[in-house]
Amino acid sequence: MAKQTGIIKLKGTIGGISFYKTTDGHLAREKGGVDANRIANDPAFQRTRENGSEFGRAGKGGKVLRNAIRILLQNAKDKRVVSRLTKTLVAITKTDTTNERGSRTLQDGNLSLLENFEFNLNGKLGTTLFTPFTNDFDRVSGDAIVNLDAFSPTVRIAAPTGTTHFKVVMGASELDFENETSTFENDETTILPYTADDTAVIALTASLTANSTLPVVQVLGIEFYQEVNGQMYELKNGAYNALAVVIVDTP
C-alpha cells in the first residue's frame, strides 16, 4: 500500500494499480488476491470462510447497535467507530462456546466485553465525566436508570474550550441480533450552564419491555454547547461529545 502525493489524486484502477481514498488520505495498491470462487469452494480456505462468516455476523450486529442508538450516536462518534465496534463484536463472537467455529454468534458470546466501549475517542466519557453516578437495569420492570448527585460542572466535567453549556444523555436498547431488530428509549437533562456552582440532582430513566428476553445495552453521554447571541450551538459540531456503554445486561 502506497500513499498518493502531488496535486492530482487518482481514483480507480490503472495498469493493475488501484487508487482510492480513505480516512488516512489517498492511497494506492496493487490489484490482486485469490479468486472468489476458490475461496468459496476450496477446502484449503475453510478457515477463511468460517472467519468471514463470523466477521459478517459481527458487522451486522454492529449495525443493529448503531441503528438502535442512532439518536445519540449521531452527536458523539469518531470516524473509526464502525471498525472499532466491529472488532469488539468479533472478539465477543469468538467467546461463544455453544456453536461451532464459523457459526458462533453474538448472543451466545460474552457481551459484557462491550461494557465501557467509547463511541468517540476524541471525547471519551471516561476522561470527561468525573462525578460518581449510579446506574441500573431492572429486567422485570424494564427500567434503565442513571442517577447523579449534585455536582459542580467546572470541577467534575472536563469540557472542551469554548463550552458554555452541556447536557447529560442516557439511552437503553434491547438488541435482537438474530433478527437484526431493536427497541430504544432515551432520556436527557435540559441544556445546563457549565459555569453554574452546582447542578440539581440528575435522575434519568428509559423504560423498555418488561421481562425482556433480549440483551440490553445502556449508554451514557455528555453533549457540549456554546451560547452565541442567546442561541445554543453544538460545540464544534459535536466533535468532543462523549458516549459510552455503561451497562450490558443479558437474560
Which string of DSSP letters, residue by residue, matches 54-72?
HHHHHHHHHHHHHHHTHHH
Phi and psi at residue 57, to the nearest 5°: -65, -40
Strand intervals (E) in the chain: 2-3, 12-14, 17-22, 25-30, 133-138, 143-148, 165-176, 181-188, 192-193, 202-207, 216-228, 231-234, 242-249
* Tens-digit pLDDT profile for residues 28-59: 665 655 556 654 555 555 566 666 677 888 89
With a cut of 70, say whether residue 169 has pLDDT above it: yes
Whole-number pLDDT of residue 32: 57
Q: Can you tell me the distance from the alpha carbon of 91 to that of 79, in angstroms, rounded to the nearest whole number?
A: 21
Nearest alpha carbon to residue 170 among 192, 148, 196: 148
* Tens-digit pLDDT profile for residues 103-131: 888 999 999 999 999 999 999 999 999 99
Summarize the confidence of residues 142-150 as an average pLDDT: 97
Instruction: Answer for the pair 204, 193: CB distance below 8 angstroms, yes or no.
Output: no
Q: Can you tell me the distance from the alpha carbon of 83 to that of 78, in angstroms, rounded to the nearest whole number?
A: 10
pLDDT class of 136 with cuts at 50, 70, 90: very high
Whole-number pLDDT of residue 233: 92
- Structural domains of the chain ordered from first start: 1-32 (no CATH), 114-249 (2.60.40)
Whole-number pLDDT of residue 100: 87
Taking the C-alpha atoms of 225, 120, 56 and 1 in order, what is their torsion angle to the nearest 10 degrees? 120
With a cut of 90, say whether residue 134 has pLDDT above it: yes
How buried is 108 (Cβ within 10 angstroms: 0-12 exposed, 13-18 middle, 19+ buried)? middle
pLDDT class of 220 with cuts at 50, 70, 90: very high
Q: Can you tell me the distance from the alpha carbon of 243 to that of 246, in angstroms, rounded to the nearest whole number?
A: 9
Worst-scoring range by mean pLDDT, 40-49, 182-191, 199-208, 227-236? 40-49
Q: Can you tell me the distance from the alpha carbon of 28 to that of 19, in angstroms, rounded to the nearest whole number?
A: 4
* Tens-digit pLDDT profile for residues 224-238: 999 999 999 999 888
